Structure 1
């Protein structure tokens, strides 16, 4: 119970602007991805969970107790915000040690060493943070959030600015912490990040919970929607005639860039396309989805 985060009919508005609209969800141990386009309300949801914002309506519980106006909740909760706020003149050791002291831990140096060991900064812990790479600064902030050994860890866009190697390191770190039984929720606007890291997904669009479930379920909702492809081939006119015979295709249009095809089912169409081209001796030179922006995908989820 201590590692469960619950939102029940939660809304948050600023005057006439609704940032979060009637969201109900429960986050338990493991890694959960909070997915949505920029401006969808992900940061507001995280700040509500962390007790930095009061819900305008509904209840937010961490470990069964309200997070708003409850300083005790921070004994079980750690937060890594999207915006960096790490003083560059300190070393990682000094920064994490200060966090341990602020938490009133009985042995701050020991707690700081344990947290820094988890993020594997090595000998760099004594260097000034201003000399760190983006990935090292992120790990420093994670260490500060972990110094009191919280059961719940909230991370807002933790992969922003990281190179591929740093992303893999951060993903491995979060997997290991989830394996220890922690509840980890991270926000992202990139579907592939959620796919690699999280089995459970909460999709937020325009402040609403648009979809919820395991990754395969969410991916199925996305791939089974209507899709538009731009196809280039050795004979676009013949290919358009052939494709129009198949029930998985609802529309075909020739334009200078290639063949615009509207398909009812992603999986069926891709199989039909390959077989049709092979049967007619047509060489495919390009297949590009032309409607894969997250905004379009999420708009479909909201309407589904």
Structure 2
């Protein structure tokens, strides 16, 4: 499922394509036959530690050659192609900064490496974007980990890239910094940039992006909107929270339906376990009408990203 955003004035919209990509180290397969296309917007790369997320990001960024397959940005291979860095920004997981530099000097060095004609103006804009102007003249070894992370994002954005790759970008951030970074990623995606960030924290991905690429044991296990993915898992039970005008009467009627595996009656309504999402949601209105019961609330209670992730990992 692809989500296309409008073009921005300052950046050219770019697509990132992986075609049958694998990467192995001797007999160890880190990434196995991954195919995906990422366009403008924010996408979460989700998977447990060791799933292959970092290896995948490094191939996207041109740091690693695929053992098989192709990684392309706008049709150009990322491996051994320095020209792609004009449109690509990367914040990798390993933190490597020169502590003796001020934040401003660090970001300006990135601007100079990109050969920007007005490095000072680009540095100022990037630092303002991550809200670090008040601390830009301090040495980076005096920063907290979250502050260093934000300055690293500024360095990755200094040349106004169309594609931004971030490996565990929220590491070390306090709650306020996390909320700011989430808002920034939303804005970058809305501007038409292709933003991919990896995380093993379900809450982070769920808050930033509804669109996910789930990597399990080096393979692409699922792709698209996680709610849609959950609903397509017809072999897994679905759980619904229901409140109605007569919960007891509705519970008795639902127990007689083939689409229902179990019903629990509580003080806050019904918890219904259904074998198939579509069959149950089509049957419920008819059952309620036949019983003269008004359904006041119907909430799928296991459509969280955590639910999807746990199903995929245990599959």
- What TM-score range do you get, normalising by the shorter chain? 0.7 to 0.9
How far apart in 2 are the matches of 1:222 and 1:38?
24
Write out the 4+ residue segments of structure 1 that deviate beyond 4 Å after TM superposition.
Answer: 221-224, 244-250, 263-268, 292-296
Measured against aligned partners, the alpha-carbon deviations of 1:135-161 in whole angstroms (never above 9, x if no partner) come to 211110000001111100000011122
Instruction: Tell me, yes or no, if structure 1 residue 212 matches structure 2 residue 223.
Output: yes
Residue 225 of structure 1, CA deviation: 2.6
Question: What residue number does 1:189 align with?
Answer: 200
Residue 3 of structure 1, CA deviation: 1.1
Instruction: Tell me, yes or no, if structure 1 residue 298 matches structure 2 residue 307.
Output: no
- What is the correspondence of 1:116-131 to structure 2 with a 5 Å cutoff? 116-131=127-142
How far apart in 2 are the matches of 1:50 and 1:81?
10
2:76 to 55, 65, 72: 65
Residue 173 of structure 1, CA deviation: 0.9
How far apart in 2 are the matches of 1:210 and 1:172?
28
Residue 163 of structure 1, CA deviation: 2.1
RMSD of Structure 2 on Structure 1 (CA):
3.3
Instruction: Tell me, yes or no, if structure 1 residue 32 matches structure 2 residue 32.
Output: no
How far apart in 2 are the matches of 1:138 and 1:298?
30
Question: What residue number does 1:50 align with?
Answer: 61
Structure 1, 214-223 or 143-152: larger mean CA deviation: 214-223
How far apart in 1 are the matches of 2:100 and 2:110?
15
Aligned 8 A contact 2:127 2:154 in 1: yes
Measured against aligned partners, the alpha-carbon deviations of 1:252-276 in whole angstroms (never above 9, x if no partner) come to xxxxxxxxxxx665998xxxxxxxx
Residue 181 of structure 1, CA deviation: 1.1
Question: What residue number does 1:288 align with?
Answer: none
How far apart in 2 are the matches of 1:266 and 1:171?
34
- What is the correspondence of 1:1-304 to structure 2 with a 5 Å cutoff? 3-220=14-231, 225-226=236-237, 248-249=260-261, 296-300=310-314, 303=315
Aligned 8 A contact 2:170 2:178 in 1: yes
TM-score w.r.t. structure 2 length? 0.74
Measured against aligned partners, the alpha-carbon deviations of 1:230-279 in whole angstroms (never above 9, x if no partner) come to xxxxxxxxxxxxxx9997558xxxxxxxxxxxx665998xxxxxxxxxxx
Give 3-state SS (helix, strand or coil) of 2:213's partner.
Answer: strand
Structure 1 residues without counterparts, runs of 5 or longer: 229-243, 251-262, 269-291
Number of aligned residue pairs: give it.
Answer: 265
Structure 1, 128-137 or 90-99: larger mean CA deviation: 128-137
Question: What residue number does 1:278 align with?
Answer: none
Measured against aligned partners, the alpha-carbon deviations of 1:179-199 in whole angstroms (never above 9, x if no partner) come to 221110001112221121113
Cα gap change, 1:148 to 1:48, in 2 (>3 Å): same
